[in-house]
Amino acid sequence: MEQLEVQLDKKAFSARIEDLVQAIPMPYMDAIIRCADAIGLEYESAAKLVNKNIKEKLEAEAQDLNLMKRVARLPI
């Protein structure tokens, strides 16, 4: 993959993730990894750039896949 020299903040990185998930239906974890790889960012650094909304969606996906303990939540 071609690495882009882009300076990203939390808002821009999260927007790229949301755009990718909408354009190509994929789990949020895959979208985060793909975005991080595209700009040559380490995964640990990418985790700091993800906003609260995406973290909540990522947590819900992990619970659905039984990767995290489920917590009580109301059906939406």
Q: Decide if 36 is inside a domain.
A: yes
Whether residue 22 lies inside any domain: the answer is yes
Question: Is the residue at 72 inside a domain?
Answer: no
The runs of H, that is alpha helices, within 1-76 are 10-23, 28-39, 43-48, 52-64
pTM value is 0.78
Its domain, for residue 15, covers: 10-64
Question: pLDDT of 61-72, one tens digit each?
Answer: 999 888 888 877
Half-sphere exposure of residue 38, counting CA atoms within 13 Å on the CB side? 13
Q: Is residue 1 situated within a structural domain? A: no
Q: How many domains is the chain partitioned into structurally?
A: 1
Please indicate, yes or no, if residue 17 is contained in any of the structural domains.
yes
Residue 44 forms part of a structural domain: yes
In contact, 17 and 51? CB cutoff 8 Å: no
Q: Please check whether residue 57 lies inside any domain of the structure.
A: yes
Residue 76 lies in a domain: no
pLDDT tens-place string over residues 28-61: 999 999 999 998 999 999 999 999 999 999 999 9
